[in-house]
Structure 1
Amino acid sequence: MTQPLFPLFTHLWLYCTVFLTGAAVMVIELLGTRLIAPFYGASLYVWASLISVTMIALAIGYFVGGRWADRAKRMGLTLIIALAGMFTLIVPWITGPILLATDSLGLRLGTFISTLILFTPSLTMLGMVGPFAVKLATSNLDGIGASTGSIYAVSTVGSVVGTLFLGFYLFPRIGSHEIFLGLGSGLFLLALIVAFFERKRFKLTTAILPVMLLFFIGVSLLPKITNNDHKQHHSSFQTRFERESLYGWVRVIDNPTLNLRLLTADASTIGAAGLSHGENVLTYQKIVGLIPMLAPDMSKALLIGQGAGHMATNLQHHGILTDTIEIDPAVAEAAQNYFDFTPTGKTIIGDARYEIRQLQGTYDLIILDVFTGGSEPVHLLTKETLSQIHALLSEQGLLALNFVSFLEEGTNIAVASVAKTLAEVFPYQLVFISEPGIDFNDFIFIVSKQLISIDSGTLKPDQSTWLRNRLLNLDQHAGIVLTDNFNPLEYFQANKSEYYRRMLVDSFGTEFFIR
């Protein structure tokens, strides 16, 4: 007997199964970052952990699935997919306890171990589908190559479709918890359908009973998930706004005791104002607010990283029209509704690296303030990006850049690298420290094509003294020039990310950062 020319049509149900389970693998991997990021931040370590755990789980699944396929006589794809559905369904329920249990391990190890525990079971089960499908699709050794190639090709196409469907359509409309629950339920439905096609190997009732049992086990946990979703974690803090976006978990949080309103994105504070007066309370933004007095003729500014919008509001008081770029629409919404931010120029929603290439004309002041989620989007701190910004500045224009790190008595390689990279593009540079005498700090770099002097503007004597006390003489020799080709800034900032996260956890409590 000859092998069919198109084995795909011989086992259409089987190829549909590997297509859908391939899509499920990528949905779980991508959604995993959204469950981990509010607690551990959206750093490279989170992505590295998710990718590594996915590869580990799939490798285990391929190995175990192959052996199981050769030996199984009473169990088939139905049970494997049902187990994947149950493990997927319970992920939102166990996320909180797992994150809390791994908190003491630190940023890197804690991220990896929590990811390993949360996603290995479901991804391993989904990895087992491929070898099982190869076994079922192969009628003789002559066709094993074509069957194997077809199975894994269809599974990979499913992964591509799952990635695009989640990123472009599903995730912007539905929360990550709801997607996990929907995916788990969908896998159970797929298991029931597969049971119908496997009825020749197993009795239909024998195949369906384990599926129903596993489904009821998963569903029984849903009330616990629901109860955990909206609990108030800390009595001192009141959540006024909450939105899960493509870029993070954005919240507006009030603390009446401290007369404070915060704007947070994942595990990072990106805006703070007094509840009673609504004015900015972050010192580094006060430093930036004095910049117009260093160059009094400013009329147009660009703010990259809008946050709560305080800096744009301050510039309006100086008669400066400000365009803003903010990657997260949820942040822009919160700024207008809870921090009284009113745009004075164009409001651009998008990634700054792309958007600055589309801008026309020049600016007298550009503010780059993109610290978020405990880390920086490092592609915005390279020589290439700064060269693009240089082209947008007028001849007398200034660039102000905020950077969070440790001083380490002037030896911090991350701070020195930012200073050195700026010096490659701009000939003149001033560096200020937000809180003198404190190691962990905001560093404000002011650079220009022309000479900058504190004494050359219209600062009042007390403002000049206040600013001069924060002037920092920074040694750039310890740093490297950051480029698109080589940019180890996130590695340099690992201790900073861990410290910043611990500082927030101590303030809010660990449970405050669990969805």
Structure 2
Amino acid sequence: MSPVQARVLAFFSGACVLVLELVGTRLLSPVFGSSIYVWSALITVTLAALAVGAWLGGLLADGRKPERWPPRLCAAAGLWLAAVPLIRRGVLLAATGLGLKTGALAAAAVLVGGPLTALGALAPLCVRCCASDLARVGRAAGGVSSLSTAGSVLGALAAGFWLLPLLSAPVVVEGTAAFLLAAGAFLAWGPRKGAVGAVAGALACWAAFRTVPPPGSRHHIVRESVDSLYGAVRVVDREDWNSRVLFIDGVANTLAELATLKNTSDYIAAFELAAAARPEAKRALVVGLGGGAIVGRLRDGWGIPADAVEIDPTIVRMAERWFDFKPSGEVIIDDGRRVLEREGPSYGLIYLDAFAGDSSPEQIFSVESFRAAKRRLAPRGLLIVNLIGTATGPDNDLARAAQRTLREVFPSVSMLVASRTLDWRTGITNLVFFAGDAPALPAAGVAGRPELLQYWISVSDRWVDPGPDGRLLTDDSSAMSYLTAPGMARMRTQMLAHREGVEL
């Protein structure tokens, strides 16, 4: 391997490292989500693999015939990655038994730990090749390190801006595998024979990808699966649940009856209570579309048109195709916070229901965002905020923080535990906040609506004060990811125990 080849290899190996680190979260997200725990697992595996690889590469660089190792390491990394789409489902299913944190760590290690170790071993070998004598070792090491880091910059940009938005995670993995196999072939055999090897490697990766079994089982039919800009989005018909489910990063975002596509989730009924409390509302704004159920309920049940804001166009398309979503107002593809900050029409009801798998967008759930929402409310308007957490007990930091922050803006704030489950006080559930200048009193509005009246009666004892001393959520100090993480981790652990959401 010539010094020029070594420098080129250092650059592109650095690019591959960042591509694998970013695509790794997409490989795990259908089961483990994309929370702080998953990112920590990927970063831990990446750094550990690079450390082991650098140590191994140093040993190989000082051994006999170090020039023979770069093509072998490239080929080994490529072959490992070529197998990832084939073994991914089995690895993730096996890792579910280890729980959220350990399972994510173990799955990341198996899927990308080996290739990252091989890539980490290339740097010392490239330094050895570029250092013609001891007097130039420092310059050679600095040059290789600089090129590798520059390659990582390219890899981060390419993966985040182009590859993952346009291609699925398995395709990106197989493309990286084909590139590494081609690099190994060129280094081992030169341009002519290497070209043949590169084509053979690419065909092998394509064949491996084509042999991946389609998702689903006898109880699960995956209608559509897309790795969008914002997560792994899947529509699955679950016959055992009698539901069509919209999964985002493995979390059930929307459930609808298979036969009617009617959403029967308790929190949607809680959303309707806001319309019952403000029947004079002329228009609503929904931030976070999901399957679009609340838009239809407001239109059909209350005659209230609703504008919908959704940052992910994939969600809008899937809602229209699979959940019979029909807009009653404008559908805005944008960040909800930006829409709230704009000048525009006033709304009698504003719903903040934005989720992306495990997380709630920090820019939506801050005191500044709530002030922007208040400016868009009509007189006597209501802001309705949906969060997932624990209502009472030592783990209700999120509920207390949300109440504290809303009360900085609105004189009247109340929290309803939307779920009718038995463990609603300490279990993970939907927490729906109603905030405005006057209390939300839906009792009169539910008269003549049997289903909503029954729901209202069943949750009448679930208006809860989560307690004082909550954290004030601001743009500069939000901590939403940390406040939501414990509750979402509990929910993920429960899901993994029953293998719910494992739709690969």
TM-score by length of 1: 0.86
Alpha-carbon distance between aligned partners in 2 of 1:23 and 1:123, rounded to the nearest angstrom: 11
1:53 aligns with 2:45: yes
1:460 aligns with 2:460: no
Bigger shift: residues 90-99 or 44-53 = 90-99
Q: Deviations over 1:385-421 (max 9, x none)?
A: 3233233323422110111223345862222222122
Alpha-carbon distance between aligned partners in 2 of 1:107 and 1:70, rounded to the nearest angstrom: 41
Give 1:223 deviation, angstroms: 6.1
Task: Please give the secondary structure, in 2, of the residue aligned with 1:380.
Answer: coil
The one-letter code of the counterpart of 1:496 is: G
Structure 1 residues 66, 506: closer, same or farther in 2, change over 3 A? closer
Tell me, which stretches of 5 or more residues in structure 2 are unaligned?
none
Give 1:225 deviation, angstroms: 5.5
The one-letter code of the counterpart of 2:25 is: T
Q: Which residue of 2 aligns with 1:426?
A: 410
Q: Deviations over 1:52-86 (max 9, x none)?
A: 22112112222221232122415232222222212
Structure 1 residues 232, 435: closer, same or farther in 2, change over 3 A? closer
1:196-235 matches, cutoff 5 A: 226-233=210-217, 235=218
Q: Which residue of 2 aligns with 1:190?
A: 183
Q: Which residue of 2 aligns with 1:394?
A: 378
1:31 aligns with 2:15: no
Task: Please give the secondary structure, in 2, of the residue aligned with 1:118.
Answer: helix
Structure 1 residues 65, 359: closer, same or farther in 2, change over 3 A? farther
Give 1:88 deviation, angstroms: 2.0
Give 1:37 deviation, angstroms: 0.5
Bigger shift: residues 495-504 or 292-301 = 495-504
Q: Which residue of 1 aligns with 2:489?
A: 498
Task: Please give the secondary structure, in 1, of the residue aligned with 2:260.
Answer: coil
Q: Which residue of 2 aligns with 1:343?
A: 327
Alpha-carbon distance between aligned partners in 2 of 1:248 and 1:432, rounded to the nearest angstrom: 29
Task: Please give the secondary structure, in 2, of the residue aligned with 1:402.
Answer: strand
Q: Which residue of 2 aligns with 1:238?
A: 221
Alpha-carbon distance between aligned partners in 1 of 2:445 and 2:16, rounded to the nearest angstrom: 61
Alpha-carbon distance between aligned partners in 2 of 1:191 and 1:63, rounded to the nearest angstrom: 21
Bigger shift: residues 45-54 or 138-147 = 138-147
Give 1:29 deviation, angstroms: 0.5
TM-score by length of 2: 0.88
1:328 aligns with 2:312: yes
Task: Please give the secondary structure, in 1, of the residue aligned with 2:250.
Answer: coil
Structure 1 residues 435, 253: closer, same or farther in 2, change over 3 A? same
Bigger shift: residues 388-397 or 224-233 = 224-233
1:165-314 matches, cutoff 5 A: 165-195=158-188, 226-233=210-217, 235-256=218-239, 258-314=241-297
Alpha-carbon distance between aligned partners in 1 of 2:474 and 2:98, rounded to the nearest angstrom: 32
Bigger shift: residues 19-28 or 188-197 = 188-197
Alpha-carbon distance between aligned partners in 2 of 1:499 and 1:401, rounded to the nearest angstrom: 21
Residue number among 75, 90, 101 corresponding to 1:97 in the alignment: 90
**Given that residues 97 and 496 in structure 2 are in contact (C-alpha distance below 8 angstroms), is that contact kept between their aligned partners in structure 1?**
no
Bigger shift: residues 485-494 or 423-432 = 485-494
Bigger shift: residues 386-395 or 452-461 = 452-461
Task: Please give the secondary structure, in 1, of the residue aligned with 2:432.
Answer: strand
Q: Which residue of 2 aligns with 1:7?
A: none
**Given that residues 374 and 500 in structure 1 are in contact (C-alpha distance below 8 angstroms), is that contact kept between their aligned partners in structure 2?**
no
Tell me, which stretches of 5 or more residues in structure 1 are unaligned?
1-9
Alpha-carbon distance between aligned partners in 2 of 1:306 and 1:327, rounded to the nearest angstrom: 9
**Given that residues 65 and 128 in structure 1 are in contact (C-alpha distance below 8 angstroms), is that contact kept between their aligned partners in structure 2?**
yes
Q: Deviations over 1:324-343 (max 9, x none)?
A: 12122221111101111112
Task: Please give the secondary structure, in 2, of the residue aligned with 1:48.
Answer: helix
Structure 1 residues 116, 387: closer, same or farther in 2, change over 3 A? farther
The one-letter code of the counterpart of 2:387 is: F
The one-letter code of the counterpart of 1:497 is: M
Structure 1 residues 12, 227: closer, same or farther in 2, change over 3 A? closer
Structure 1 residues 158, 67: closer, same or farther in 2, change over 3 A? same
Alpha-carbon distance between aligned partners in 2 of 1:72 and 1:281, rounded to the nearest angstrom: 68
**Percent of paired sites with the same residue:** 29
**Given that residues 70 and 184 in structure 2 are in contact (C-alpha distance below 8 angstroms), is that contact kept between their aligned partners in structure 1?**
yes
Residue number among 334, 340, 357 corresponding to 1:373 in the alignment: 357
Q: Which residue of 1 aligns with 2:132?
A: 139
Q: Which residue of 2 aligns with 1:85?
A: 78
Alpha-carbon distance between aligned partners in 2 of 1:455 and 1:382, rounded to the nearest angstrom: 26
Give 1:502 deviation, angstroms: 4.2
Bigger shift: residues 186-195 or 140-149 = 140-149
Alpha-carbon distance between aligned partners in 1 of 2:153 and 2:105, rounded to the nearest angstrom: 25
Please report the RMSD computed on the Cα atoms of aligned residues, expressed in angstroms.
3.0
The one-letter code of the counterpart of 2:381 is: G
Alpha-carbon distance between aligned partners in 2 of 1:223 and 1:193, rounded to the nearest angstrom: 21
The one-letter code of the counterpart of 2:435 is: V
Give 1:486 deviation, angstroms: 3.4
Structure 1 residues 149, 387: closer, same or farther in 2, change over 3 A? farther
Structure 1 residues 265, 195: closer, same or farther in 2, change over 3 A? same
Alpha-carbon distance between aligned partners in 1 of 2:221 and 2:111, rounded to the nearest angstrom: 29
Alpha-carbon distance between aligned partners in 1 of 2:215 and 2:236, rounded to the nearest angstrom: 14
Alpha-carbon distance between aligned partners in 2 of 1:359 and 1:25, rounded to the nearest angstrom: 44
The one-letter code of the counterpart of 1:52 is: T
Alpha-carbon distance between aligned partners in 1 of 2:331 and 2:55, rounded to the nearest angstrom: 52
Q: Which residue of 2 aligns with 1:6?
A: none
The one-letter code of the counterpart of 1:303 is: V
Q: Deviations over 1:166-224 (max 9, x none)?
A: 22222222211111111111111112222357x9xxxx99xx8xx979x87x9879767
1:407 aligns with 2:391: yes
The one-letter code of the counterpart of 1:422 is: L
Bigger shift: residues 142-151 or 180-189 = 142-151
Structure 1 residues 405, 310: closer, same or farther in 2, change over 3 A? same
Alpha-carbon distance between aligned partners in 1 of 2:315 and 2:389, rounded to the nearest angstrom: 23
Alpha-carbon distance between aligned partners in 1 of 2:6 and 2:208, rounded to the nearest angstrom: 35
1:482 aligns with 2:473: yes
Q: Deviations over 1:448-498 (max 9, x none)?
A: 1x1114168644277568536154131331532223343444444444223
1:438 aligns with 2:423: yes
Alpha-carbon distance between aligned partners in 1 of 2:99 and 2:404, rounded to the nearest angstrom: 30
Task: Please give the secondary structure, in 2, of the residue aligned with 1:49.
Answer: helix
Give 1:374 deviation, angstroms: 3.6
Give 1:126 deviation, angstroms: 0.9
**Given that residues 123 and 144 in structure 2 are in contact (C-alpha distance below 8 angstroms), is that contact kept between their aligned partners in structure 1?**
yes
**Given that residues 93 and 221 in structure 1 are in contact (C-alpha distance below 8 angstroms), is that contact kept between their aligned partners in structure 2?**
no
Task: Please give the secondary structure, in 2, of the residue aligned with 1:298.
Answer: coil
Q: Which residue of 1 aligns with 2:298?
A: 315
Bigger shift: residues 432-441 or 126-135 = 432-441
Task: Please give the secondary structure, in 2, of the residue aligned with 1:281.
Answer: coil
Give 1:231 deviation, angstroms: 4.1
The one-letter code of the counterpart of 2:14 is: G
Structure 1 residues 259, 117: closer, same or farther in 2, change over 3 A? closer
**Given that residues 454 and 464 in structure 1 are in contact (C-alpha distance below 8 angstroms), is that contact kept between their aligned partners in structure 2?**
no
